[in-house]
């Protein structure tokens, strides 16, 4: 009978093709680009633009979008604090596998709790790039692309981040993107900022 809990009687099996071998094949370094911010801040838009710019440079990436993952991998999870933690834990483990395969893994999730994001960073601390879309609540709520803020304000959604559940801002993110003189950067500008960081840090070569 299957039981939940820590696995026992398991052993790690090493394979002859290493992470370095895979990175040489792809001519890039596997890493995790973790995009966090409020709903409506532009995370998915940035993730897709970043993936497109990397693709145009001949670099292999993959986007793990929070909503998309809840259609499959995390479809059995709700939005309680415990489920949110498990949601992020699963995504962090999958992102680590993608990075180990040599891909630039772009994870796009609200991920509101600092301890959960830090737990993901701890899985691959030297290859974790946290991108904070620091957009004000008023802007995100004004956009409200999915109509979720309206539902939350009407009391039809409980525990909505930014309304009746907290968002804990990053303390030491690698990249922070915000408005300049009241204007939001375009998706291409935001993606370009991340690509420049990856290039400067040597991720776009083996």
Residue 13's pLDDT band (cuts 50, 70, 90): confident
Name the one residue in this structure whose structure tokens are 């790690």. Answer: 12
pTM of the model: 0.94
Structure tokens at 134: 């620091």
Q: What is the mean pLDDT of residues 177-205?
A: 97
Task: Tell whether the model's pLDDT for residue 150 goes beyond 60.
Answer: yes
Within-domain flag for 158: no
Tally the domains of the chain: 1
Within-domain flag for 182: yes
The SS3 assignment for 112 reads coil
Rounded Cα–Cα distance for residues 50 and 191 (Å): 5
C-alpha dist (Å) from residue 110 to 66, 82, 160: 8, 15, 11
| Residue 198: per-residue pLDDT | 98
Structure tokens at 42: 């532009």
Percent of the chain whose predicted confidence (pLDDT) is above 90: 92
Within-domain flag for 51: yes
Which CATH number fits the domain that encloses residue 186?
Answer: 3.40.50.300
Domain residues for the domain of 77 are 19-134+168-200
Lowest mean pLDDT among 4-18, 82-96, 117-131: 4-18
In this predicted model, what pLDDT tens digit does every residue of 48-105 receive, in sequence order? 999 999 999 999 999 999 999 999 999 999 999 999 999 999 999 999 999 999 999 9
Task: Tell whether the model's pLDDT for residue 1 goes beyond 60.
Answer: no
The SS3 assignment for 177 reads strand
Within-domain flag for 125: yes
Within-domain flag for 39: yes
| Residue 39: per-residue pLDDT | 97
Rounded Cα–Cα distance for residues 101 and 85 (Å): 25
Our answer to whether residue 111 is catalytic in this structure is: yes
The SS3 assignment for 194 reads helix
Pick from 112, 121, 118: nearest CA to 38 = 112
Marked catalytic residue, from 61, 111, 119, 196:
111
In this predicted model, what pLDDT tens digit does every residue of 180-191 receive, in sequence order? 999 999 999 999
CA quadruple 109, 88, 77, 11: dihedral sign = positive
Within-domain flag for 193: yes
Within-domain flag for 162: no
In this predicted model, what pLDDT tens digit does every residue of 21-39 receive, in sequence order? 999 999 999 999 999 999 9
Structure tokens at 4: 């939940």
Residue 8's pLDDT band (cuts 50, 70, 90): confident
Q: What is the mean pLDDT of residues 141-156?
A: 96
Structure tokens at 76: 């059995």
**Cβ–Cβ < 8 Å for 136, 108:** no
Structure tokens at 58: 């001949």
Q: How does the average pLDDT of the chain come out, rounded?
A: 95
Within-domain flag for 5: no
């Amino acid at each position: 009978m299957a039981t939940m809990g820590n696995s026992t009687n398991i052993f790690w099996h090493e394979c002859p093709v290493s992470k370095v071998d895979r990175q040489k094949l792809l001519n890039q370094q596997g890493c995790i680009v973790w995009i966090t911010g409020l709903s409506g801040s532009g995370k998915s838009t940035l993730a897709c633009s970043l993936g497109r710019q990397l693709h145009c440079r001949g670099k292999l990436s993959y986007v793990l979008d929070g909503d998309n993952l809840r259609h499959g991998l995390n479809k059995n999870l709700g939005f309680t604090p415990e489920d949110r933690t498990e949601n992020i834990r699963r995504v962090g483990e999958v992102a680590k596998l993608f990075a180990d395969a040599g891909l630039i893994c772009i994870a796009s999730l609200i991920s509101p709790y600092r301890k959960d994001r830090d737990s993901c960073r701890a899985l691959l601390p030297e290859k974790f790039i946290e991108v904070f879309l620091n957009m004000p609540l008023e802007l995100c709520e004004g956009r409200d692309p999915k109509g979720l803020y309206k539902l939350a304000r009407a009391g039809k959604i409980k525990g909505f981040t930014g309304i009746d559940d907290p968002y804990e801002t990053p303390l030491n993110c690698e990249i922070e993107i915000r408005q300049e003189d009241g204007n939001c950067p375009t998706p291409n500008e935001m993606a370009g900022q991340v690509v420049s960081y990856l290039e400067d840090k040597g991720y776009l070569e083996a």
